[in-house]
Structure 1
Amino acid sequence: MNHFPLSRRRGRILAALALLAAALPAAGRAADATRGADLFDNYCGECHTTRPGGSSRSAPNLFGLMGRRTGTVEGFAYSDANRGAGWIWSPETLDTYLAAPKTAMPGTVMKFQGVKDAAERADIIAFLATLHA
């Protein structure tokens, strides 16, 4: 039985996820969260925000994404596919989703076609892993 308070466990889980994301194999190099922030802006920034407590645009705010269940940002109108997927966002689920969202989650309304380059996906995921309190 784990006796750590939930918030402390969550912090440790998020830290572990950030380390895992940074270690994802991507073209034989460690992921780069700084480069990932730039890639995020280019690929995702038009629709998603990343500020703590920030509002959603045409897509939900992604602050605190790692470890969160799909379709749960309060006040955002998700597709049935996203709400019903029941995934927990992790480096692995994000890698699959970001490669081809409509293939990974049939029925999603996300218009983005995906990031084909594995190294770019790893960098974006490393950036997203930094977005936690």
Structure 2
Amino acid sequence: MAGATLAPPARAADGAGKDTFMAECAECHSATQGKNKKGPSMFGIGNRQAASLPDYSNYSDALKNSKWQWTPAQLKTYLSQSSSKALPGTKMKYEGLDDPKELDALIVYLNSLK
């Protein structure tokens, strides 16, 4: 087809990841810088130290003491299972995302929030 362009895989994942974010995360988290909800904003989460947003004060002691950094691998570990199993003592109540494609797309989307 002349003139047709295909979306790069990362952009396609951004779209699918945004849909997953809206369905799974947006009730408690925003994607907007400085806009916290029940949970902290996900803006800039990629490679950020866990429990480090200065304008959010409701982190659990478990998360504050975790010394985690939100790398893609850490996000995958945390979001692929029940949050209380991944980090006992966390305040986040989430049962985990078991679809690997959705999980990967969500992580691409979260890392795009800059």
Q: Same fold (TM over 0.5)?
A: yes
Q: What TM bracket, shorter-length normalisation?
A: 0.7 to 0.9
Structure 1 stretches of at least 4 aligned residues deviating more than 3 Å after TM superposition: none
Quote the Cα distance in structure 2 between the aligned partners of 1:74 and 1:92: 24
Amino acid at match of 1:120: E
Please give the per-residue CA displacement for 1:48-93, whole angstroms capped at 9, x wherever unaligned: 00112x3210000010001111111113210001111011101100
What is the aligned counterpart of 1:59 among 39, 43, 53? 39
What is the aligned counterpart of 2:74 among 86, 89, 93? 93
Please give the per-residue CA displacement for 1:87-118, whole angstroms capped at 9, x wherever unaligned: 11011000000012221111111111111111
**Pair 1:39 & 2:16 matched:** no
**Pair 1:111 & 2:54 matched:** no
Question: What are structure 1's unaligned runs of at least 5 residues?
Answer: 1-21, 23-30
Please give the per-residue CA displacement for 1:8-44, whole angstroms capped at 9, x wherever unaligned: xxxxxxxxxxxxxx5xxxxxxxx71210001100000
Quote the Cα distance in structure 2 between the aligned partners of 1:62 and 1:36: 13
Quote the Cα distance in structure 2 between the aligned partners of 1:63 and 1:75: 12
- DSSP 3-state at the match of 1:85: coil
Amino acid at match of 2:67: G
**What is the TM-score with the length of structure 1 in the denominator?**
0.73
**Pair 1:69 & 2:53 matched:** no
Number of equivalenced pairs: 102
Amino acid at match of 1:105: L
Bigger fraction of residues in helix: 1
**What is the TM-score with the length of structure 2 in the denominator?**
0.84
Quote the Cα distance in structure 2 between the aligned partners of 1:51 and 1:109: 21
Question: What are structure 2's unaligned runs of at least 5 residues?
Answer: 1-9
Quote the Cα distance in structure 2 between the aligned partners of 1:118 and 1:106: 23
| Percent of aligned positions that are identical | 36
